[in-house]
Amino acid sequence: MSTTAPTFNTDAIGRWSDPVEFEVTRERIKQYAAATNDPIAPHADGDLAPPVFAVVPAFSMAGEAAMKVIPSELVMMILHGEHDFHFHAPIRPGTTVSTSAAAIGLSPRSSGVTVTVKADTRDRDGTLLVEQYLISFVRGAQAPVAVGDAAPDHRFDESLRSREPEAEASQTFDSDQTFRYAEASGDPMPIHLDDALAKSMGLPGIIIHGMCTMAFTSVAVIEHTCPEDPTRLKRLAVRFSRTVQPSHTITTRIWAAGGGAYGYETESDEGVIVIKDGLADVVPES
């Protein structure tokens, strides 16, 4: 008896969704900042959306775009592999934004398939606020050839290791972090909320949302590079390497790479690298 591998729908690549509106309120910004332990004043006060908040209006759109390509029977094999934000203008309270998304590329790997989704968020005047690339890795899947486009590269420059990092920041997740983040972000995936289910999936228990971990690293980056003006951060990209759990501590190490670029990586208190290929582009002070 022969079996047939699930087929990816490459016809959906490049098909953009209709825009969906999202109202950005001060309370929603404050809730997100609180859910990610973000102490940066304009974020905590709701005057400026934290950088990773930009995933909130795009989250469902991006997921739908990915699932137009990925076979439904492989949904439990999907991992959030990478995320890359490009910030063109700040998101502020009192703004209604609209987001469109499309799968833009697919690429076979040795142990699975990556699907890249791009989402664009604009204000009501059509001004582009944020572009973001979400790369899903489908474990064990197969595809014959690459189709479409890849996300921009953000690999860590290994030559930076020839010197000590110029900054190091440790942060600890709260025991209820995933519950607060799920509510603030609109991401209620059970592996972040149900300990028994997470263990049934082969995990050690409830795990922190990858985007929550990314938000923690954004605080470390901003506090080192542009604390007086977080809007100087123009790009933030990471590769999610391993999971981390509530009450654990992470340490982010940051290296200046020149021209306003910073490479970074984040390690858990168990000695495991959880964020690789971290890249932040910051406009130099004038």
pLDDT tens by residue, 196-212: 999 998 889 999 999 99
Q: Pairing mode, if any, of strands 261-268 and 273-282?
A: antiparallel
Predicted pLDDT of residue 143: 95
Rounded to 5 degrees, φ, ψ at 86 are: -125, 115
Considering the chain, what percentage of its residues have pLDDT values greater than 70? 99
Report CA torsion sign: 250, 255, 256, 262: negative
Structural domains in the chain, CATH included, are 1-152 (3.10.129.10), 154-286 (3.10.129.10)
Cα(230)–Cα(222) distance, rounded to whole angstroms?
6
Is residue 276 within 8 A of residue 241, CB to CB? The reply is yes
* Residue 3 pLDDT level (bands cut at 50, 70, 90): low
* Residue 1 pLDDT level (bands cut at 50, 70, 90): very low
Neighbours of 113 (CB within 10 A): 22
Is residue 39 within 8 A of residue 86, CB to CB? The reply is no
pLDDT tens by residue, 24-63: 999 999 999 999 999 999 999 999 999 999 999 999 999 9
